[in-house]
Amino acid sequence: MKSSSPKCIPVVSTFASPFDVTPPSSDSTRKPLSLWPGMYHSPVTIALWEARSKIFESLLDPPKDAPPQSELLTRTPSHSRTTIFYPFSTDYILREQYRDPWNEVRIGILLEDLDALAGTISVKHCSDDDSTTRPLLLVTASVDKIVLKKPISVDTDLKIVASVIWVGRSSIEIQLEVIQSELEDVDASPESVALTANFIFVARDSKTGKAAPINRLSPETELEKLLFEEAEARNNLRKKKRGGERKELEHGEYNKLGGLLAEGRIFSDMPALADRNSILLKDTRLENSLICQPQQRNIHGRIFGGFLMHRAFELAFSTAYTFAGLVPYFLEVDHVDFLRPVDVGDFLRFKSCVLYTQLDKVDCPLINIEVVAHVTSPEIRSSEVSNTFYFKFTVRPEAKARNNGFKLRNVVPATEEEARHILDRMDA
């Protein structure tokens, strides 16, 4: 009996190769491998990096001792303003790539796209279009705020509009608005803005690694001038917070500190008598770990900041879910700090906890989550914080409606260090 050979199912790449020359021509050049990012990312992020790499291609191989940009340019917000359009209503495949279990857009993937778009705009603003000077290295320094104003449906077309709103000596702030409307003419009216975000990037000299000056910004319209002033005020506040030493607690804050610690001490000393509606902060913790893979890199060869935010968001969501016992609903990113770069091959640990709850609004109780990312090096017994993320959630209304007896627990610290940290975040 003749045995049949097993069928072979071929596997092909869904991406074009950086070594392919398309279309073939005598003057075509392949894209340098150093401008080819990892394969993990969303279609929007890939498209944005493609646009960004085109800016870099002419700047990739400047002369060996290429000088930095000698003369700063003055640019307007409109110079780098960019819009990304998501045709969810007609593109079924795109819709499926972004759909979550509640038929809304996956926030984690959207965070990646926001970071990629903000980075592309910062590159546009800071580029001097001169292939004889060395390009700047722009890295995400922090996320000032991301606020979800209304649910984002995955069945309705979406667009993100973003531009530079402020420039300092070596830092730049990008504001992004996610806009969605049932109307065909999707404009930026207050009712159609579903999410707002502010990203801050810093410029580094690609040779020395030191802070580098960037092109100036000249706001034109009254709104652009107002946004510039507001961003300037936020920057001054950040500097003040960074420069200030740990403040002494005032009398009222001592009372708050004592109140936070009182219930925690009962948990430690008399656990059988502790308030059943409270829980220790340490008992809300979750953690996950990963080895950073090449597929998660950006065009600079380091781990994409949007990927880190995506992973932190997923852990924060899980933490809120296990704490509340009902499906959580994302409200905002309070703040994100990018303290050190994360490289391919790094052992990264994410640790989360419910920092505190706000129960004064019965219809919308708030769950404040902290996620801290650590780059861990077992060989040298080292662990450094690379990122801190602060998220705010509530509970999905439909989940709460099905559970009439739902009530969030109060989170209490067990140590003075935890209590002070909670007070600092409340103040922030």
pLDDT digits (tens, 9 = 90+) for 57-111: 554 555 556 667 778 889 999 998 999 999 999 999 889 999 999 999 999 999 9
The token duo for 194 is: 């579903």
pLDDT, position 407: 83
Domains along the chain with CATH numbers: 8-16+37-242 (3.10.129.10), 251-427 (3.10.129.10)
What gap in Å lies between CA 419 and CA 424, rounded to an integer? Answer: 9
Task: Name the range with the highest mean pLDDT among 12-21, 153-162, 189-198.
Answer: 153-162
As to burial, measured by CB atoms within 10 angstroms (0-12 exposed, 13-18 middle, 19+ buried), residue 358 is middle
Give the count of alpha carbons within 13 A of 384, CB side only.
10
pLDDT, position 251: 54
What gap in Å lies between CA 7 and CA 9, rounded to an integer? Answer: 6
Mean pLDDT check: name the lowest of 142-151, 164-173, 203-212, 375-384: 203-212
Top-confidence residue, 126 or 16: 126
- Chain centroid, CA 266 distance in Å: 38
Residue with tokens 């970071």: 115
What gap in Å lies between CA 39 and CA 19, rounded to an integer? Answer: 15
Which of 20, 49, 110 has its CA nearest to residue 299?
49
Per residue in 182-217, pLDDT (tens digit) is 766 555 577 799 999 999 999 988 778 788 899 999
Q: Is the pLDDT of residue 1 over 60?
A: no
Residue with tokens 């590159």: 123
Task: Say which DSSP state 284 is in.
Answer: G
60 contacts 34 by C-beta, under 8 angstroms: yes
CA-to-CA dists, residue 346 to 8, 41, 351, angstroms: 36, 19, 16
Q: Give the contacts of 305 (CB within 8 A, at least 6 positions apart).
A: 115, 119, 139, 140, 298, 338
The token duo for 321 is: 């879910």
